[in-house]
Structure formats: C-alpha cells, structure tokens
Structure 1
Amino acid sequence: MPGMRPARWAAAVPMAVLALVTVYPLLFTANVAMKTRREYVLDRFAPAGSLRWDNLAEAWAGAGMARYFANSFVVVAFAVALLLLLGSMAGFALSRLRFRGSSLIYLGCLAGLFVPFQVIMVPLTRIMADTGLVDTYPGLILAYVAQFLPFTVFLMTSHYRTIPAEIVDAARIDGNTVYGVYRRIMLPLGVPALLSVGILDMLFCWNDVLISLLMMPSPEHRTLMIGVNSLRGQYSDDIPTFASGVLIAAVPVLMLYLFLQRQIAEGVTAGSTKG
C-alpha cells in the first residue's frame, strides 16, 4: 500500500545502517588478514593489494590456532551434549511430574539465571582446585554445565509445558514407565527445542573467555577465544596475522548464524509465550 511506504522506509533505513555497522568490523578484519605488514602500516583502511592466504596458514599452524580450535571443539561438544541430556530430563520432570520440592527446584533454576558468573567464580575455582579439576577438560566441561544448565532447564521446561498432558496420560495408560514416556514421547517431541537450545549453549560455550581463562591456565589447554587473546601479545607487531586468528575464530560462529538463523531465533523466544 502506498500509505505504508514511509513507515517501511522509517524501519528499513535504521535496520540497514545497523546491519552495515555490524558487518563492517568483520569485513575490516578480513581485509587486514589479507594484507602484508607493509600494506597495513602504510594504510590500514585501504583494500588489500593481493590475497595473502599465508597469513591464515601462519595463524592456524604457527600460532597454534589448530590446537586451540581442537580444544574448543572437544570441550563444547561434550558440554553441550551433557547440557541437553540433563536439561531435557530436568525439563520433563519439572513440567510433567509432580513431586515434593519441584516448584522450589524450578524457582532455583530461575534464580540461577540472574546470578552473574563473577559472583560464583571464586568459590567455583576453589572447588575445582580442591578436586584437581583445574586445567583439565572435564573441569571446564563441568564448569560450563554448571553455568548454563539453569538456562537450558528453563527453556526445556517451558517447551514441555506446551505439550498436551493427554499425550503423557495416554502413554502411561499404554504401560510406559516414566522413563519410557521421556524416551519415546517427550524426547522426540522436544527435538525442535533441543536443537534451538543446543545452538545457543554452543554459542555461549564457544564464545566464553572468563570461565576458560580461570579453568585452563596452561597454554596447551587453551580454548580458541583464549588463544586469540594470546595472539595480541605474541603478534603485536604483526597485525595481519593477529587479524587472521580473529577471523578463524569468527568463521564458525558466522556460519552457524547464517545456516541456523531460524533455530537461533526460536531458541531466544522460547518460553516467552505460553501455549
């Protein structure tokens, strides 16, 4: 409609500007990563004269980004798998099973969403040190699970509450145990929510700096984001190589956003409405 065009332009122009502001740092980093040191010193904003793929190779092999990438992949994969398992089981129990203290447990999960990690990082580090889990993969995995489990439980509980109770009752009448209802009914019906929550948990763990910095002090155990930060000092006079490391760390997250935009949006809005 002609009368709607000014309103559409009023919304489209700010969104276009916001998109450009968001994309520009990535384009600038990619441009710097393709330059030589001389080109960067002469004009850091000018387009790269040629594509210097050897900068990426130096950051990947010479700066140890391959090891950091592998460390992050292993830790994030196990942490997300454990989060989804515990979160889906807890979400099913809190949404469909009635037992003493269930409301208090759910309120405790909600309260955990509002506790910043900075509040618990000292006692958590102390506990991990006393149990010998500092600078180990299991220690970092458990730290991630402890930090992001309340969020996962909250979203899975919200999703399972939208499933009609008659489905659960029918499954129990057919002779399924509680575990059978969870495995045969609730778990398949929860796949869309599990996918959305899993993507968000993966982004949280992948982009984490503070928890990994506390749990993994050794250079060989660093995750990708800590490795990128370490490049700042190691390659302070070689900005193109440093930019290449930043680009390597950003590409997996960027690809995730490009191909799974709908699932990420569904995960962010999960629990905001009641079905």
Structure 2
Amino acid sequence: MSRIGWGRWFVAIPMALLALATVYPLVFTANVAMKTRREYILDRFSLTGALRWENVVTAWTSVGMGRYFVNSLVVVTSSVLLLLLFGSMAGFALSQLRFRGSSALFLCCLAGLFVPFQVIMVPLARIMADSGLLDTYPGLVLVYVAQFLPFTVFLMTSYYKAIPVEIIDAARIDGNSVYGVYRRIMLPLGTPALLSVGILNALFCWNDVLMALVVMPSAEHRTLMVGVTSLRGQYSDDIPSFAAGVMIAAIPVLLVYLFLQRQIADGVAAGSTKG
C-alpha cells in the first residue's frame, strides 16, 4: 500500500471512531426512549423490540414538555433577533465608521467574552429581582442578549472589516446617510455572516440551562432544557421517560446541524477573517 493510502487510513480511522463516539449516545438515547420500564431494567443495552411512542407522548403532555418547548421558542427567537440587530449595527460601526475610541470600545466588547456567567450570576439575579424582570420572558431575553452580544459583535466586526471601504464611500457620495448605508449596503452584504451568527446564537440559547434556571425559577416559565433536567429528578425510576424528554430537546438541534452545517462552519470561521 502506498504512503498516501496509509496516510488516508491514519486520518480515516480516528475520524470514524470520533463519529461513532458522537452518534452512539444519540442512538442509545433513542433506543431507551422506545423501551418500557421493564425492558430497560432487564437489559438496558439491548435493542427495543418495537417502536413505542408512549414515553414521548407522556413527556410531551403529562410532564409539560410542550409548554417548555414553546417557552424556549419564544425566548430564543426574540434573543436571536435582538442579537442580530445590535450585533450587526455595532459591527458596522466598529469596522467601517471612523470615530475616536472605536478600538477601545471593540476591546471592551472582546473583554466581555472572557467573563463567565458564574462570576456575575449572583449580582445579576439581585438586579433582575429588583427590576421586576425575574421569572419573565423579557428578563431572560435581556440576559441572553447581554451574554452573547460580545461574541456577535466580534464576529460581525471581523466580517465587516473585509468589506472594502470604497463601497461605503461610494454609497455616501450617492447621498446615503449612515443608516442608509447600513440598511442598503451592509445588511445585504452581511447576510451570510448574519445567518451563521444567528444559528450559533440560537444553539447557544437553546442549549442553555444555567442562565434559564437562574432567571426563570418557576415551573410555568421553564425553558426546554431546564424542563429536561427536572425530568431526571421527577422520573429517576423511569429512565425511558427521561430519555424521551432528552430526545425531544435534541431533535431541533440535530435538525439544525444536519441542514445548516455549512453555515455553522462559516460562522465559526468568520471570526478568523482578517480585514
């Protein structure tokens, strides 16, 4: 076998093992969700004999996963729209507009990337309680926007820096205001980056547990991921029902990865572009 052939096998085998390690937990969870409690106790690793959807129906209706799903959908959609609006405007200003202190302001945005939520969790909860925003949808949306806005600004600024300044100058000569340049030039040109950043932020918000648990303590306003974690205690002796809840929460994320994996990869790479 040639040296090139050996090199391909040297890369393919670890990648295959990595793919197997990624896919197996998903297959195992789906298999457990289709079992009865008795089947799981007798042999948790065996394949289910039939597709039983009772556990999925129980998790969706009796436990309230349907309500949690709607809560997550409302919060994530609102947060992503605000992040794209503020992030694109800030990225345009920091990359193309010349004003004093723009570099320092960009560094301050970058500094926000290095502040973990655990550091500000306690004072944030106190501020949200004093402001009347605790256990409300707007409160959680504001928390998500504040937490993920530095990441959005960083990627949008990096993307907009690659756009030639001559395009902006030509638009200004044609009579466009700063807002007109942003709306007619920067938004259309930034559509690929906006799509990528929007997908990444949607995944971040959808998979979050800690922030939603702190801001939304009541069972009525729980997001889907918080509802899944509560299933573990409520159904500690009914693992198939818990697995069904995990599967419900994972399906939207899997669909996003399957159909929009190119945009996700482009969004990760957008921050590495050099303007």
| Superposed displacement of residue 98, structure 1 | 1.3
Alignment of 1:233-248 (within 5 A): 233-248=233-248
Deviations 1:104-128 (A, max 9, x none): 1100011111111111112211111
Match of 1:145 in 2: 145
The alignment's TM-score, normalised by the length of structure 2, stands at: 0.98
Corresponding position: 1:229 with 2:196: no
| Superposed displacement of residue 135, structure 1 | 0.1
Q: For 1:106, give the aligned amino acid.
A: F
Match of 1:121 in 2: 121
Deviations 1:95-152 (A, max 9, x none): 0111122111100011111111111112211111110100000000000000000000
Match of 1:64 in 2: 64
Following the alignment from structure 2 to structure 1, what is the Cα–Cα distance between the partners of residues 273 and 106?
A: 17
Deviations 1:210-240 (A, max 9, x none): 1000000000000000000010111111111
Q: For 1:50, give the aligned amino acid.
A: A
Match of 2:219 in 1: 219
Following the alignment from structure 1 to structure 2, what is the Cα–Cα distance between the partners of residues 161 and 182?
A: 14
Corresponding position: 1:175 with 2:172: no
Q: For 1:49, give the aligned amino acid.
A: G
Following the alignment from structure 1 to structure 2, what is the Cα–Cα distance between the partners of residues 180 and 65?
A: 44
Match of 2:257 in 1: 257
Measured on the aligned residues, the alpha-carbon RMSD in Å equals 1.0
SS in structure 1 at match of 2:220: helix
Match of 1:198 in 2: 198
Contact preservation (8 Å) 2:235, 2:242: yes
SS in structure 2 at match of 1:11: helix
Following the alignment from structure 1 to structure 2, what is the Cα–Cα distance between the partners of residues 118 and 242?
A: 27
Instruction: Count residues with an aligned counterpart.
Output: 275
SS in structure 2 at match of 1:220: coil
Match of 1:77 in 2: 77
SS in structure 1 at match of 2:58: helix
Deviations 1:178-220 (A, max 9, x none): 0000000001000000000000000000000110000000000
Corresponding position: 1:160 with 2:160: yes
Structure 2 unaligned blocks of 5 or more: none
Q: For 1:266, give the aligned amino acid.
A: D
| Superposed displacement of residue 2, structure 1 | 4.0
Q: For 1:36, give the aligned amino acid.
A: T
Runs of 4+ in 1 over 3 A off after TM superposition: none
SS in structure 2 at match of 1:113: helix
Following the alignment from structure 2 to structure 1, what is the Cα–Cα distance between the partners of residues 186 and 237?
A: 55
Percent of paired sites with the same residue:
76
Corresponding position: 1:109 with 2:109: yes
Match of 1:133 in 2: 133
Deviations 1:241-272 (A, max 9, x none): 11000000000000100000100001111121
Contact preservation (8 Å) 2:162, 2:273: no
Contact preservation (8 Å) 2:140, 2:216: yes
The alignment's TM-score, normalised by the length of structure 1, stands at: 0.98
Q: For 2:234, give the aligned amino acid.
A: Q
Q: For 2:37, give the aligned amino acid.
A: R
Following the alignment from structure 2 to structure 1, what is the Cα–Cα distance between the partners of residues 125 and 237?
A: 34
Following the alignment from structure 2 to structure 1, what is the Cα–Cα distance between the partners of residues 133 and 217?
A: 12
SS in structure 2 at match of 1:86: helix
Contact preservation (8 Å) 2:56, 2:244: yes
Q: For 2:91, give the aligned amino acid.
A: G
Following the alignment from structure 2 to structure 1, what is the Cα–Cα distance between the partners of residues 169 and 122?
A: 45
Following the alignment from structure 2 to structure 1, what is the Cα–Cα distance between the partners of residues 266 and 127?
A: 36
Following the alignment from structure 1 to structure 2, what is the Cα–Cα distance between the partners of residues 103 and 132?
A: 35
Following the alignment from structure 1 to structure 2, what is the Cα–Cα distance between the partners of residues 185 and 195?
A: 16
